[in-house]
Amino acid sequence: MEISLAAEKIGHIGSLPITNSLLLSWISTAFLIVLAIGATSNLRTIPQGIQNVFESIIELLLNLINGVLEDEKKTRQYFPLLATIFIFIITNNWLGLLPGVGSIGINEIKHGEQILVPIFRGGNADLNTTLALAIIAVISVQVFGVAAIGTFKYAKKFINFNGPINFFVGILELISEFSKMISFSFRLFGNIFAGEVLLMVIGFIAPFIAPIPFFLLELFVGMIQALVFMMLTLVFIKGAIQEAH
């Protein structure tokens, strides 16, 4: 039973390595694109089928975001990024639970012994993916803040010379933006990777019947982590677009 913290490389495009979690991220992206095209190809006023499912998901997310922002116009403005974060992360997490992920692989020789390199691995079980999502989220928060209240007022939140204490607080806020990136990425990576390790260990010890509650747990955790990522980005956006008091 081999567990690797880093996602294993399974191929190359030119000089860029392709890892197994990148492959699953591509598959989940393709899955979402196919679903979206299927849902919007014959739009009807009274929705049916996939369009119905998508409309209910979007209504759910809109209500959730509206509950925090309490402003319809702002909700629609920030909805695309937040909904994309949620849907992408939850699809990645749930597709990583399918049978075949982590078990189908290539036998390779590494360090003198033969190990199995799986060709699929949970999309968010790679720190690169979660770091990318975290950087996108934090930079988007800055961009939305600047777009809402202007560069000068937004910069005054971080660098203001009104007094020594305010200056120090501003510097701390600047540092805390970077710590948000690390916190976002490690929270998602830690949860999903630990889930994968747990499932592998349970599958190793008791492969029949015992993994069922753990799969339920992982379904739940996958959804909660997507929700948490989205809600935290939302709360940071809300804080960024407010004028400094």
Partner 1 sequence: MALEEVQVAATGVSPETIKLIATAATIAIGGIAPAIAIGMIGSKGMEAIGRNPEAAGKVQSAMILGLAFSEAIAIYALVIALILKFI
Residues in contact with partner 1 by the rule CB under 8 A: 3-5, 64, 67-68, 183, 186-187, 189-191, 193-194, 197, 224, 227-228, 231-232, 235
Q: From the CB of residue 107, how many other CB atoms can be counted at a distance below 10 Å?
A: 8
- Nearest CB to partner 1, comparing residues 4 and 56: 4
To partner 1, the closest distance from the beta carbon of 228 in angstroms equals 4
- Nearest CB to partner 1, comparing residues 39 and 191: 191
To partner 1, the closest distance from the beta carbon of 187 in angstroms equals 4
- Nearest CB to partner 1, comparing residues 39 and 226: 226
The number of angstroms, rounded, from the C-alpha of 12 to the middle of its chain's C-alpha atoms is 25
Helices (H) and strands (E) in the chain, counts: 7, 4
Q: What is the 3-state secondary structure (H, E, C) of 60-99?
A: HHHHHHHHHHCCHHHHHHHHHHHHHHHHHHHHHHHHCCCC
To partner 1, the closest distance from the beta carbon of 55 in angstroms equals 21
To partner 1, the closest distance from the beta carbon of 164 in angstroms equals 29
- Nearest CB to partner 1, comparing residues 119 and 226: 226
- Nearest CB to partner 1, comparing residues 39 and 85: 85
Q: Kindly state the tokens that stand for 107.
A: 């036998």
To partner 1, the closest distance from the beta carbon of 87 in angstroms equals 18
To partner 1, the closest distance from the beta carbon of 33 in angstroms equals 29
- Nearest CB to partner 1, comparing residues 224 and 244: 224
Question: What are the CA-CA distances from residue 156 to residues 72, 166, 237 (Å)?
Answer: 27, 10, 17
How far apart CA 153 and CA 172 sit, in angstroms, is 17
Amino acid of residue 64: L
* Residue 200 · residue 116 · CB < 8 Å: no
Torsion of CA 37, 43, 46, 48, to 10 degrees: -30
To partner 1, the closest distance from the beta carbon of 96 in angstroms equals 17
What DSSP letter does each residue of 119-175 carry, written as one string?
S---GGGSHHHHHHHHHHHHHHHHHHHHHHH-HHHHHHHHS--S-HHHHHHHHHHHH
- Nearest CB to partner 1, comparing residues 61 and 64: 64
How far apart CA 15 and CA 138 sit, in angstroms, is 29
